[in-house]
Structure 1
Amino acid sequence: MKLLFPQLTKSIKITHFALLMSLFNLLFFHYSFLAFVFNNLNYKSFNGILLVISLFVLLLLFNAFTFYLFLFLSRFVGKFLMVVTFIISSIATYFVNTYNIIIDKGMIGNVINTNYDEASSFFSVKLLLYILLFGIFPSIYIIKAKIITVKLKKFLVTTSLTLLFFAALIFVNATNWLWIDKHDTTLGGLVMPWSYTVNIARFYIHKHQSNRKEILLPDAILKDNKKSVLVLVIGESARSKNFSLYGYEKNTNPLLSETPNLFYFPAVSCATYTTAGMKCILTHKKSNDLYEILPNYLFRNNVSVVWRTTNWGEPPVHIKTYQNRAALIPGYKGENGNYDEILLSGLKEQISESEHNKVLIILHTSTSHGPTYSKKYPPRFEIFTPVCNSVELADCSQEELINAYDNTIVYTDYLLHSLIELLKELKEYDSSMIFVSDHGESLGEKNLYMHGLPMSIAPREQYEIPFIVWVSDSLRQLKPNESLTQNHVFHSVLNFLGVESPIYKEELNIYN
């Protein structure tokens, strides 16, 4: 460090140090922020020039002021917080720059709910370089810097003048407030370190509020004793655009396209990330309150409920039979338990052995989750080539990326077909399958990747999803819905299983 930056190892005034580190923060972590501003603002006009300069100065001084406050109160605490923020900001900036994500409350929820398998799939040399260059190296200097502090009087004067300057800057930009208000979600999601610090706080405040005791729904009754089974398959990152059932030019649904009694509808998700999509699928209405979810409700009302998952991000599930991949592997007789086919292992026997006439099976898959699409299906399903094998999606051609993703849809087609064939063997049951995805996926369109953008700015690829239904009885028809939402699932399941409930809404039922 001394050889590289001999002038930086000398004693430095606290104000100069705070400004220097804020400048590093601005240069290292705000390329996407500044690119967004220039792409969405007429920067050649007077107001545009004023706003660009004001945002640049505000970013520089606000972070410097924050560093200054913490360092004055405690150099140890100040340095510790700066080291933590530089390292986290280097990781956050990698994902912002690589996948064009916005770090809002929803994205924080995705990060916190991510398990080891998904997190490890993002590992790359480029990520290590970001951490090393923009996180570790600045942190070494922060730790070693000899800071000259100031007296309380000078601290108070500096603080007062800075606050007055901020007020003046805000007043001068009064004509630009509407533009800032329009883009506040995106701007806030790209400012480091505030994008993740503020939204982590917002996430846990919301989680604390939502973790109150769930609101129980009114008791339900079973209208008949007819043996019925419905399998709800919740897909992961499946977008309808790449299903040949919906008109895609490549044949990604060779099996389902030949399946009788199959219906499919255009649909949209409630959100572009898993936790919100799952909540919307499993609750009776769209609400921020924590209502009893579908599996818990039916289990409490004498329906046999089984939940099998290779995924995560699920609401609290309170049922007897909950099986993740680890629980399913011991009984799996296939070659490789790393793929979603494991969800079908022993399922027919499990349904047949049920002591109830009404059975709900929920399968939560992970088939189309990025960035490693090519690892989500067995090699024999690599129909479209060449494929992208890198976690750096922008390093692949769009053809390679889409081919890898399309192969996950081909595998999904196989899984759903296999499930339907399994249900056909249960002659004593009236059977149905519903497949709906939690959200869609971006595959390089408009230079966007994966999912998680706020709905207000998300492209249609991230929320237009498949809604596919199969029924065993050829006489049973579905309503001619032009478009569905995830809210239709709850009430359709109640209808098919003959569950009578005060909260049932016929207009959200798909079955005739």
Structure 2
Amino acid sequence: MRLLKDNIKIVHFSLLISCLNFLFFHYPFFKFIFNNVDCKSINGISIIICFVILMVVANAFAFFLILFLLRFVGKVILAFFFIASAIAVYFINTYGVIIDAEMMGNVLNTNYGEASGFFSIKLLLYIILLGVIPAILIIKAKIVNVTFKRFSVIALATLLFMLTVVFANSPNWLWVDKNSKVLGGLAMPWSYTVNLSLFFVHKHQENEKEILLPDATIKDNRKSVVVLVIGESARSENFSLYGYSKNTNPLLSKTPDVFHFNATSCATYTTAGVKCILEHKNTGDLYEILPNYLYRNGVEVVWRTTNWGEPPVHIKNYLNKEALMKDCKGDGCDYDEVLLNNLKEQIAASTKSKVLIVLHTSTSHGPEYSKKYPPQFETFKPVCNSVELAKCSNTELVNAYDNTICYTDYILSNVIEDLKQLKEYRSAMIFVSDHGESLGEKNLYMHGLPLSLAPKQQYDIPFIVWTSDNSLKQLKPDSPLSQDYVFHSVLNFLGIQSPVYNEELNIFK
């Protein structure tokens, strides 16, 4: 072949290899896209065209960088990519797998006996035709490199072109975000390279030991319970308690002793937001979080969740949605009401005087807001039922989101009513969201922008408190609270003495 005999410019070679990579390994990728977009709509066509362009250009750019910087080693890496991608796409086509971080963990944990059971002539043909032959061509190709100046110009121009394509397709970012796990698991060679790295990162985090806090002391035997409700994507702007024109808090607004504070989150995504709520101070380190700390020091701690993203929780009573649904009856069990199932009974059955209950909700998580609440809570109509939020009118989108706030209002009201019936306990309910949410303002949706760039809708959050007694102290009304207030306020209310306690971050008397 002429490719083996003649010199070929690095740019042309990178583009050629990218096209082969596109043709050989991306049928499953584009099959998924075609099956999940409306191919007759402008948005659907835009998504397809965008991914075709980016798949070829981005991979060509990556291969260009590898070859320019690593020379022969770069050729070896590309050869390996083709062989590995051939194996990966065989398993995708044959078994319908997605090459995500969990799958990479399965691969690494497979022994020889298990692996040999997958061998077949078909696999061998995949490896030879799609992997070995292209790998030989890559190794033997005579590539003509470019000067550093030429390299810089090409790199800059390619980056600008890709950014232009990406931002031109911004109305479809939400669709991409919703399907990112599957798309990432089908994009070669990045599915296994990136997810292998993620697997080791997650493994390291699992093995990372949290920094223990100094021992705490329970000061008294007075029965006290705090129910900490962690909201998901709830923004204060859409709570009528905060002045919103629509009545999204019909129950809490009529409940005595409910107070709300202006507050901001430390981040715009769940893992960081929940970590801030549970730690005694906002740092990049993994300190012992509130439930672990109290549990270790003799407090009854229960974690109930329909969500994910919290730091490692080391307590006895950790109940996810599947566990909660086992003895739950009624339509509400399919929604966040399941968190309330037998809650009052579990508190009353505790043999300890101090109790912390954490309810980690998912009530306002997008993009399918209209599926996060039971039908009877569809107060505001019409609603958006599409995951492509840009296709809905702003009225439909906001209505669907506002209904999740109404449902949150119902859940919080039920928590308070349960606590009122526990007469022997001094009780408090604290509701604070992990972060806020964008609903089309400045053409932004959902959350996750860097805090320095995020609009206020993504970090202005509700901080709502109820107590069974008049134990809230007067706070400066113009000073917004941070999520750091939760840790220290819970310690104060439960009567926990600790060297890390900070009175300045306490909302109770």
TM (normalized to structure 1)? 0.70
Change in 2 beyond 3 A, CA 1:81/1:357: same
Matched position secondary structure for 1:469: strand
> Quick one: percent identity of the two aligned structures?
59
Matched position secondary structure for 1:363: strand
Tell me the residue number matched to 2:435: 439
Q: 2:471, 2:508 within 8 Å by CA — same for their partners in 1?
A: no
Q: Does 1:472 align with 2:475?
A: no
Q: Which one-letter code corresponds to 2:401 in the other structure? A: Y
Change in 2 beyond 3 A, CA 1:165/1:195: farther
Tell me the residue number matched to 2:263: 267
Query: What is the CA-CA distance between 1:223 and the residue it aligns to?
Result: 1.0
Q: 2:227, 2:429 within 8 Å by CA — same for their partners in 1?
A: yes
Matched position secondary structure for 2:331: coil
Q: 1:70, 1:77 within 8 Å by CA — same for their partners in 2?
A: no
Report the Cα distance in structure 2 between the residues aligned to 1:272 and 1:429, rounded to whole angstroms: 35
Change in 2 beyond 3 A, CA 1:439/1:337: same
Equivalent residue for 1:451, pick from 418, 424, 447: 447
Q: Does 1:405 align with 2:405?
A: no
- Listed one character per residue, the Cα deviations across residues 417-442 of structure 1 (whole Å, up to 9, x for unaligned) are 11101111111111000000011111
**Aligned counterparts, 1:2-17, within 5 A:** 15=10, 16-17=12-13
Query: What is the CA-CA distance between 1:334 and the residue it aligns to?
Result: 2.5
Tell me the residue number matched to 1:78: 81
Tell me the residue number matched to 2:294: 298
Query: What is the CA-CA distance between 1:300 and the residue it aligns to?
Result: 0.8
Query: What is the CA-CA distance between 1:14 and the residue it aligns to?
Result: 8.6
Tell me the residue number matched to 2:496: 499
Query: What is the CA-CA distance between 1:225 and the residue it aligns to?
Result: 0.9
Change in 2 beyond 3 A, CA 1:206/1:333: closer
Q: Which one-letter code corresponds to 2:248 in the other structure? A: T
Tell me the residue number matched to 1:93: none
Root-mean-square deviation (Å): 4.1
Tell me the residue number matched to 2:314: 318
Report the Cα distance in structure 2 between the residues aligned to 1:281 and 1:215, rounded to whole angstroms: 17
Report the Cα distance in structure 2 between the residues aligned to 1:71 and 1:212, rounded to whole angstroms: 34
Residue-pair matches, total: 409
Structure 1 unaligned spans of 5+: 1-10, 30-56, 87-110, 114-140, 177-185
Tell me the residue number matched to 1:66: 66
Tell me the residue number matched to 1:243: 239
Report the Cα distance in structure 2 between the residues aligned to 1:458 and 1:83, rounded to whole angstroms: 41
Matched position secondary structure for 1:479: coil
Matched position secondary structure for 1:385: coil
Q: Which one-letter code corresponds to 1:166 in the other structure? A: F
Tell me the residue number matched to 1:309: 305
Matched position secondary structure for 2:466: strand
Report the Cα distance in structure 2 between the residues aligned to 1:317 and 1:302, rounded to whole angstroms: 15
Tell me the residue number matched to 2:506: 509
Report the Cα distance in structure 2 between the residues aligned to 1:23 and 1:153, rounded to whole angstroms: 16
Tell me the residue number matched to 1:128: none
Query: What is the CA-CA distance between 1:195 and the residue it aligns to?
Result: 10
Q: Does 1:225 align with 2:221?
A: yes
Q: 1:58, 1:166 within 8 Å by CA — same for their partners in 2?
A: no
**Aligned counterparts, 1:137-148, within 5 A:** none
Query: What is the CA-CA distance between 1:488 and the residue it aligns to?
Result: 0.7
Q: 2:265, 2:459 within 8 Å by CA — same for their partners in 1?
A: yes
Change in 2 beyond 3 A, CA 1:79/1:316: same
Report the Cα distance in structure 2 between the residues aligned to 1:151 and 1:339, rounded to whole angstroms: 56
Report the Cα distance in structure 2 between the residues aligned to 1:258 and 1:339, rounded to whole angstroms: 24
Tell me the residue number matched to 1:485: 482
Query: What is the CA-CA distance between 1:64 and the residue it aligns to?
Result: 2.7
Q: 2:84, 2:131 within 8 Å by CA — same for their partners in 1?
A: no
Report the Cα distance in structure 1 between the residues aligned to 2:7 and 2:390, rounded to whole angstroms: 41
Change in 2 beyond 3 A, CA 1:246/1:75: closer
